[in-house]
C-alpha cells in the first residue's frame, strides 16, 4: 500500500501509528533483556516508564541527549562550579538502610556538598545485566527519586546500557553531579593549621558493618543499618555558622582514617586523635573484633570530617548536634605541628599508635 499520499491523519494506518505513539510507554517484560539496550522501542519503553516515570522533571522529559541548564540561574547560587562523578558497584545492591540507588544519589550529593557547593543537578548512567528483574530496577529508580527529593536535587539526564548475562553483577550505576560554590567559601585539604579541631558528625563504621552482615557469608546477626544519607543540609548549616571552615570531606572508602591521612599529607601537619573520643557503636566494635577489622577504616555513607579553627570548634559542634544529620557529632582530635604528614592516636591504654593509610581495602565493593 502506498502511503505517500496519506497526508491526512484520518488514514487508518497513520491513525493506528499515532495512537501507538501516544500510548503511555510501559515495560511489559518481567526481566531485562538485551532488547532493552538496543535503541529501539523496548529501550524507549524502559527509559520512559522506569526513568522518566520515576525522575520526572521538565529537563529530563525533553528526552534530549543532554540537559540544558540556564547559566543565569546557576550564578544566583555562587561564583564557582563544582563538578564530580562516581560509580557504584555495591554488593549486595539492597542492604539494611538503603540500596544502590539512594547510595548513588547521596554519595554524589555529598561529594559536592563537602566542597562547599550547593548540589543542583545529577546525571544517572546505568549498566544493567540481562535478566535483572524489572521490578528491582523500578524499585532502585524510585529510591533514587526519593533520595533526590530529600536532597533537593534533580536527575536531569542519563544513559542506559544492557550487557550480556554474566558480564556484570546485576546493576552498576554512575552518577555525575553539578553544584555551585557560594562566594567566600574556600575548603581545601591544604588549609589545615596547627591548633585546628577535628570533628565528625556521628557514629563511625555503620555502613561498612551493615554491608558485611548483609552479605550473609559469616552467619552474623546484627541490627546495624547503613548511615546512607545526604549531608548538604548539614554542610549548609555548618558554613552558615562558620564560613572559615578549613576543610571537609565525606568518609567513604577507607573511612575517617584515610581522610585524615590525606589531610595531614596535603597540609604537611600532624593530626592527634583520642581513641576515647571516637564515636563507635558497641555492636560495630563487636563485629570488628570478631573479624579483625578496624572501625576507623570502615566505610561510611553519611559521615563527614570537618576541620575547624579551634576558636570556632564548640560553636560548630553545637550547630552540628542540633541538626538531624549531626546529633551525635563530637570532637575527636586536633591538628599539630609535627610529625608532619602523620596521623596518630592516643589509645585507651595511654600509649600512642600511628594511624597509617591502608595498603589495600578491608572490604571490597562497599559503595
pLDDT digits (tens, 9 = 90+) for 67-76: 999 999 999 9
* pLDDT above 70: residue 14: no
Q: Are 84 and 174 part of one and the same domain?
A: yes
pLDDT of residue 18: 56
What does the block give as the cell for 56?
520526572
Residue 157 and residue 306 in one domain: no
Total length of the chain: 367
Is the pLDDT reported for residue 15 higher than 70?
A: no
Q: Are residues 159 and 45 in the same domain?
A: yes
Each residue's pLDDT tens digit, 17-75: 455 555 557 898 999 999 999 889 999 999 999 999 999 899 998 888 999 999 999 99
Confidence of residue 3 (pLDDT cuts 50, 70, 90): low
Please state the three-class secondary structure of 210-235 as a single string.
HHHHHCCCCCCCCCCCCCCCCCHHHH
**pLDDT exceeds cutoff 60 at 317:** yes
365 part of a folded domain: no
Give the number of domains in the chain.
Answer: 2
* Averaged pLDDT, 164-170: 96
pLDDT digits (tens, 9 = 90+) for 254-264: 999 999 999 99
Where does a domain end: 123, 156, 181? 181
Closest CA to 297 of 340, 352, 243, 259: 259
Assess if residue 62 is contained within a domain.
yes
Residue 8 lies in a domain: no
Rounded Cα distance between 338 and 350, Å, is: 19
Question: Do 174 and 298 fall within a single domain?
Answer: no
Q: Are residues 323 and 299 in the same domain?
A: yes
Burial class (CB in 10 A: 0-12, 13-18, 19+), 138: middle
Domain identity same for 134 and 258 = no
For residue 25, the model assigns a pLDDT of: 75
Is 362 a residue whose pLDDT tops 90?
no
- Any domain includes 39: yes
Cα–Cα–Cα angle for 319, 321, 322, nearest 5°?
A: 65
Which residue, of 181, 214, 242, is where some domain finishes? Answer: 181
CB of 251 closer than 8 Å to CB of 366: no
CATH of the domain at 57: 3.30.1330.10
pLDDT score of 222:
84
pTM: 0.92
Q: Is 307 helix (H, G, I), strand (E, B) or coil?
A: strand
The answer, yes or no, to whether residue 201 has pLDDT greater than 60, is: yes
Q: Which of 239, 300, 268 is nearest to 98 (CA)?
A: 300
Collect contacts of 98-102 with beta carbons under 8 A, ≥24 apart: 98/143, 98/226, 98/228, 98/301, 99/139, 99/140, 99/143, 100/140, 100/171, 100/173, 101/139, 101/140, 101/141, 101/142, 101/143, 101/144, 101/147, 101/173, 102/143, 102/144, 102/146, 102/147, 102/228
* Listed residues 181, 214, 243: the one ending a domain: 181
According to the model, what pLDDT value does residue 363 have? 78
For residue 102, being part of any structural domain is answered with yes
- Assign 358 a pLDDT band (cuts: 50, 70, 90): confident
Reduced to 3 states, what is the DSSP secondary structure of residue 310?
Answer: helix
Segments forming the whole domain that contains residue 128: 24-181
Residue 279 lies in a domain: yes
Q: Checking DSSP bridges between strand 171-181 and strand 247-250, what pairing results, if any? A: unpaired
Residue 221 vs residue 331, higher pLDDT: 331
User: pLDDT: is 6 or 132 the higher one?
Assistant: 132
Amino acid at each position: 500500500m502506498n502511503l505517500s499520499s496519506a497526508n491526512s491523519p484520518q488514514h487508518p494506518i497513520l491513525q493506528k501509528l499515532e495512537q501507538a505513539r501516544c500510548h503511555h510507554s510501559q515495560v511489559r517484560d518481567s526481566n531485562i533483556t538485551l532488547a532493552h539496550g538496543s535503541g529501539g522501542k523496548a529501550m524507549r519503553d524502559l527509559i520512559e516508564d522506569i526513568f522518566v516515570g520515576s525522575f520526572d522533571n521538565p529537563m529530563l522529559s525533553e528526552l534530549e541527549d543532554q540537559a540544558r541548564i540556564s547559566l543565569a540561574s546557576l550564578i544566583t547560587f555562587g561564583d564557582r562550579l563544582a563538578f564530580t562523578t562516581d560509580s557504584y558497584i555495591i554488593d549486595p545492591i539492597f542492604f539494611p538502610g538503603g540500596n544502590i540507588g539512594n547510595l548513588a544519589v547521596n554519595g554524589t550529593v555529598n561529594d559536592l556538598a563537602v566542597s562547599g557547593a550547593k548540589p543542583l543537578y545529577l546525571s544517572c548512567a546505568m549498566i544493567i545485566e540481562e535478566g535483572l528483574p524489572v521490578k528491582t530496577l523500578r524499585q532502585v529508580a524510585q529510591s533514587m527519586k526519593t533520595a533526590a527529593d530529600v536532597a533537593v536535587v534533580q536527575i536531569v539526564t542519563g544513559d542506559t546500557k544492557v550487557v550480556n548475562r554474566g558480564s556484570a553483577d546485576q546493576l552498576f550505576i554512575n552518577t555525575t553531579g553539578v553544584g555551585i560554590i557560594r562566594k567566600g567559601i574556600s575548603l581545601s585539604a591544604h588549609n589545615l593549621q596547627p591548633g585546628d579541631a577535628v570533628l565528625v558528625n556521628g557514629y563511625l563504621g555503620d555502613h561498612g558493618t551493615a554491608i558485611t552482615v548483609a552479605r550473609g557469608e559469616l552467619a552474623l546477626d546484627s541490627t546495624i543499618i547503613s548511615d546512607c544519607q545526604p549531608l548538604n543540609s548539614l554542610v549548609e548549616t555548618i558554613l552558615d555558622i562558620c564560613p572559615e571552615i578549613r576543610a571537609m570531606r565525606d568518609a567513604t572508602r577507607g573511612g575517617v582514617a584515610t581522610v585524615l591521612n590525606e589531610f595531614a599529607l596535603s597540609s604537611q601537619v600532624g593530626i592527634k586523635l583520642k581513641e576515647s573520643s571516637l564515636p563507635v557503636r558497641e555492636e560495630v566494635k563487636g563485629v570488628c573484633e570478631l573479624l579483625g577489622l578496624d572501625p576507623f577504616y570502615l566505610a561510611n555513607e553519611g559521615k563527614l570530617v570537618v576541620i575547624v579553627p579551634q576558636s570556632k570548634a564548640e560553636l560548630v559542634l553545637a550547630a552540628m548536634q542540633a541538626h538531624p544529620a549531626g546529633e551525635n557529632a563530637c570532637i575527636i582530635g586536633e591538628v599539630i605541628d609535627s610529625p608532619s604528614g602523620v596521623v596518630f592516636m592516643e589509645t585507651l591504654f595511654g600509649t600512642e599508635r600511628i594511624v597509617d593509610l591502608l595498603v589495600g581495602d578491608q572490604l571490597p565493593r562497599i559503595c
